[in-house]
Structure 1
Amino acid sequence: MGRSGSTKLKNISEIRHYFRTNESPVFFVGATAFNLLGLDRWVRGFSYITYYDSWDGAHPRVFSPSDKPYVEFESGEDINNWLLSNHEVRAHIERQTPPGLRPKIVMVFFDERTERICEELDYELILPSHALRERLDSKIVTTQIADSVGVPSVPNILTTVADWDELVRAVDAAGLGRDLVIQTAYGDSGKTTYFVTKEEEFDAIADEVTGVEIKVMKRINNRPIAVEAVITRQGTVVGPCMTEITGHAELTPYRGGWAGNEMFPTVLDDGSRHAAIQLVRKLGDRLGAEGYRGFFEVDVLLDTDTGDVYLGELNPRVSGASAITNVTAGAYADVPLFAFHLLEYAGIDFEIDVDEINARWEDLASEDEWSHMVIKHTSSTVERINAAPRTGRYVLDHSGRLTYTHGDLDWHLLSNEAEAFYLRIYDAGDYRWKGADLGILVTKAHLEADHGGLTIHAKYLIDAIRGMYYATPVEGGEPELKPAPAKGK
């Protein structure tokens, strides 16, 4: 990030000082600022360019173009490409970039067009290439790479089938039984993961899973764990272990769909936590051999019957879990995990003790508690939003009612479970439809109960936020559907 290559950063203190004093601009571009919100507390030159302005112009580090004509976006990539090409955004980047420096761009979703735009505008996209990420994004390729270094997956086969009978022959030969999980190579796991026990269930998804390579797994009772990490030239730095909040009907209409994360002291016992971290580190080192550099996320599966730890899937990008990763005790003791990604692309020499950092963060992770959940529109209705809750700090008042207290820039100053930060995505004038992300709530409260469902407190928070929306059903006509994905899958 613009410092002479003759200077070598030798410890965390020097790295912290470097990021706090370096003026090289880094722009996070996305539908919202959610994934890396608050990183600007550590990195002086870090700011956000977003499609949705959750703060209505009040956040000093968030820029959103004022002129946003109707566009039918089909993906997060479409939104980011529109932003990068927008004349207001280009002017903003030029204003914020000191003479002689090249602006650096970070985002969750990008494609080959993004790379061409950045090349034409002389922006440095500080991420692995789209071609490499696309290849590694395949659940088939991930499984094969993991197998090559002994990283265990749930018992599975990689195959192509034409019908139910062919599937039965394949799983019987592999001893997987008939209680199966089928995944296609690409796609959000909540939308491209299918649970099959009989022919009728297979027939319902046959168009999606026949004639293409699929991963067929034995279904296990599991707890999904999200772990983020960064591959650096010094090795893989691994972040904390978090549970995944998935499939709750109060939050998402998609069975198995991701809806948030939680980190708390007993998310895993010491042995399972260590096994998960070592699995991610081993996979990261192998991905480094593929040429991958920087941030990635791994879904780890803990078999709740046997205690075994398995690779679930790889997400070669920033993820929704980053919102928690960057506020942990480890982040405040050292630097946020994503800072190591920035360091890897900074063009400066550095030296870090990866073993020591991983050991310390593993200890600190057992002493912290954070949660967040993405609140989607779960019904099949299409509605125009008339009023929406504001972004900012909310607290439970003396009667236990969730109440807005004041605007805030991020959730880093939350101190107890009676407080929450709500990041609004869709505002008055926008439309909501089945699966639309309304907003994201961050808290230090525990959201999932031991029985696997949401806690009473979590359900109240969801109902309270939903109760602050007022909307009118749309009769016919097509709403303005602009995706605002948070997970990064």
Structure 2
Amino acid sequence: MKNWPGLFIKYPLFFVSPDIKRGLGLEDLLPDFHLICSYYDSLIPVLRRNKVKILCLQESADKPENIINNSGSLLSKSPVLNYIRSNSGKIPAVAFFKPSLKIDFLLKKYKFIKVGNNYEQNEKFENKIKFLQIFSKLIPDYLTPFTIEKLHDLEFSCLAAKFKLPFVIQFGHGWAGKTTFFISGESSFNKLKNTFPQTTVKVSRYINGFTVLNNCCLYKDKVLVSPPALQINGFSKLSSRQYVTCGRQWPLIPFEKSTVSDIFKLSQKIGRIMNKSGFKGYFGLDFLIEGNSGRLYVSEINGRLTAASAFYAKLERGKDLIPLLAYHYASFLGIDLPVEEISPLISGSQVIIRNLQTDKKINLNLNGVYQISGKKIEYQFDDYRPQDLKENQFIYHQEKIIKTDSEISRIESLRQALSSPFKLSPWLVTLLA
């Protein structure tokens, strides 16, 4: 069905996020779609050339250092409300990346259509502690043994005896692995315990393996599931922190049909459980695959749009598929879309560079599309359309504002970034050298 974007014509849709990249995917495809962001990004003029409608607060801010870093606060600002109201003759629909109580309050107050779950639904599944409390009896064979306690009630000797060293401590909330701690000795445990004594944590056995993820969407009575992707982490060239997420790659390698089948079945089962609670739309799952045994564990649920949802939508569009992101919007707007039952064959990589020294070595002066042939790299043009990339091309994008441990630049390609879970592909090694 080629004309499905026209079904959204009735709804002026505004995606509100400090970072404009969170709202990408369908920005140039839906008929009345608007991006509202805080920070200026060099993608903005590129997107505007492609007729994308954008409000960026930093473009008119007197004091850039006061730019908002929170979607709820962004939504409350008068320039944002004025823009939404002046660009919607009908009741506007507002989409967002991560739910919050403030977003719930404001959308109810302004009587805007909410395109996303409320905070309570998100917290029920995304909080790692609450996730275990719900699913420990439903999928026990796919969860690592764990303990849940406040840190001040835990003793290192007991945990070391139960889980062996190293063991893993996780907070209920975190982003890109930044609140996951690998404890190999008593000093690191005591430092964490003394810093966060009242924090309730999950403690579990360390799994020597790699992380796999997927994107899913609850649309009406169906659980739509993407093929699994390999999470990129553990490379010092990308980040000084070993376990911080630095991207993802489709397809999954190594490719075991039984593992892919188990991931699909688990995703369906978890999705049905979430659906019964009233959750709908986008969510993502993280899995651990143990290196020696190949055993599969469910790690966590991201009960919202994921870090991969925008890029994955571009890859889907490159295959002429209706993206999961479209089903997410449609599930909250009551739009009927045809459901394609064939599992798509998706290939592409998104690499996040968080190591400043590596980014300096790349020595690419311009954002945009490059062509790589062996060790020869040539700039092509400034555009952002991952769905139209050729096999020997990639997009390089450097952030304008850089924060500690955050994204410095990214590389997007239809090529595989990894030749194995622990080895970068030769073309990427050449680029990062």
1:137 & 1:208 partners in 2: Cα distance? 23
What secondary structure, in the 3-state scheme, does the structure 2 residue paired with 1:320 have? coil
Contact in 2 for aligned 1:377/1:434 (Cα 8 Å): no
**Residue 405 of structure 2 is aligned to residue 435 of structure 1:** yes
In 2 relative to 1, CA 220–22 (structure 1 residues): closer, same or farther, beyond 3 Å?
closer
2:230 & 2:390 partners in 1: Cα distance? 21
Aligned to 1:305: 292
Aligned to 1:156: 146
2:19 & 2:265 partners in 1: Cα distance? 32
Aligned to 2:396: 422
**Residue 342 of structure 2 is aligned to residue 373 of structure 1:** no
1:128 & 1:283 partners in 2: Cα distance? 17
2:370 corresponds, among 379, 388, 394, to: 394
1:73 & 1:228 partners in 2: Cα distance? 34
1:269 Cα offset (Å): 1.3
1:187 Cα offset (Å): 1.6
Residue pairs, 1:267-286, within 5 angstroms: 267-286=254-273
1:297 Cα offset (Å): 1.0
Residue pairs, 1:86-105, within 5 angstroms: 86-97=77-88, 99=89, 101-105=90-94
1:254 & 1:168 partners in 2: Cα distance? 26
Residue pairs, 1:80-119, within 5 angstroms: 80-97=71-88, 99=89, 101-119=90-108
1:58 & 1:74 partners in 2: Cα distance? 22
1:132 Cα offset (Å): 2.5
Contact in 1 for aligned 2:12/2:32 (Cα 8 Å): yes
Aligned to 1:19: 5
In 2 relative to 1, CA 442–451 (structure 1 residues): closer, same or farther, beyond 3 Å?
closer
Contact in 1 for aligned 2:369/2:379 (Cα 8 Å): yes
**One-letter code of the match for 2:139?**
G
1:309 & 1:342 partners in 2: Cα distance? 31
**One-letter code of the match for 1:61?**
V
1:453 corresponds, among 423, 426, 429, to: 423
**One-letter code of the match for 1:93?**
I
2:267 & 2:311 partners in 1: Cα distance? 18
Q: Report 1 or 2 for greater relative contact order, CA contacts < 8 Å, sequence distance ≥ 6.
A: 1
Number of equivalenced pairs: 421
**One-letter code of the match for 2:385?**
D
Aligned to 1:197: 184
**One-letter code of the match for 1:459?**
V
1:283 Cα offset (Å): 1.1
What secondary structure, in the 3-state scheme, does the structure 1 residue paired with 2:287 have? strand
In 2 relative to 1, CA 323–56 (structure 1 residues): closer, same or farther, beyond 3 Å?
closer
Residue pairs, 1:48-447, within 5 angstroms: 48-50=35-37, 51-59=39-47, 60-63=51-54, 64-65=56-57, 66-70=59-63, 76=69, 78=70, 80-97=71-88, 99=89, 101-150=90-139, 152-162=142-152, 166-169=155-158, 172=161, 175-188=162-175, 190-208=177-195, 210-264=197-251, 266-328=253-315, 332-348=319-335, 350=336, 357=341, 360-361=342-343, 364-365=344-345, 368-378=346-356, 389-396=365-372, 400-416=375-391, 418-426=392-400, 430=401, 432-447=402-417
**One-letter code of the match for 1:153?**
L
In 2 relative to 1, CA 25–274 (structure 1 residues): closer, same or farther, beyond 3 Å?
same
1:72 Cα offset (Å): 5.2
Contact in 1 for aligned 2:351/2:411 (Cα 8 Å): yes
Gaps of 5+ in 1: 1-12, 464-489
1:201 Cα offset (Å): 2.6
1:245 Cα offset (Å): 0.7
What secondary structure, in the 3-state scheme, does the structure 2 residue paired with 1:57 have? helix
1:323 Cα offset (Å): 3.3
Aligned to 1:480: none
What secondary structure, in the 3-state scheme, does the structure 2 residue paired with 1:240 have? coil
In 2 relative to 1, CA 73–450 (structure 1 residues): closer, same or farther, beyond 3 Å?
farther
1:87 Cα offset (Å): 4.2
The two structures have a TM-score, normalised by structure 1, of: 0.77
1:110 & 1:388 partners in 2: Cα distance? 36
1:18 Cα offset (Å): 4.0
2:165 & 2:40 partners in 1: Cα distance? 45
Contact in 1 for aligned 2:217/2:224 (Cα 8 Å): yes
1:178 Cα offset (Å): 3.1
Gaps of 5+ in 2: none
In 2 relative to 1, CA 411–329 (structure 1 residues): closer, same or farther, beyond 3 Å?
closer
> Relative to structure 2, which stretch is displaced further, 268-277 or 448-457?
448-457
Q: Provide the aligned C-alpha RMSD in A.
A: 2.9
Percent identical residues: 19
1:377 Cα offset (Å): 4.6
Contact in 1 for aligned 2:253/2:421 (Cα 8 Å): no
1:68 Cα offset (Å): 2.2
What secondary structure, in the 3-state scheme, does the structure 2 residue paired with 1:437 have? coil
2:273 & 2:318 partners in 1: Cα distance? 25
Aligned to 1:485: none
Aligned to 1:483: none
1:127 & 1:370 partners in 2: Cα distance? 27
In 2 relative to 1, CA 62–168 (structure 1 residues): closer, same or farther, beyond 3 Å?
farther
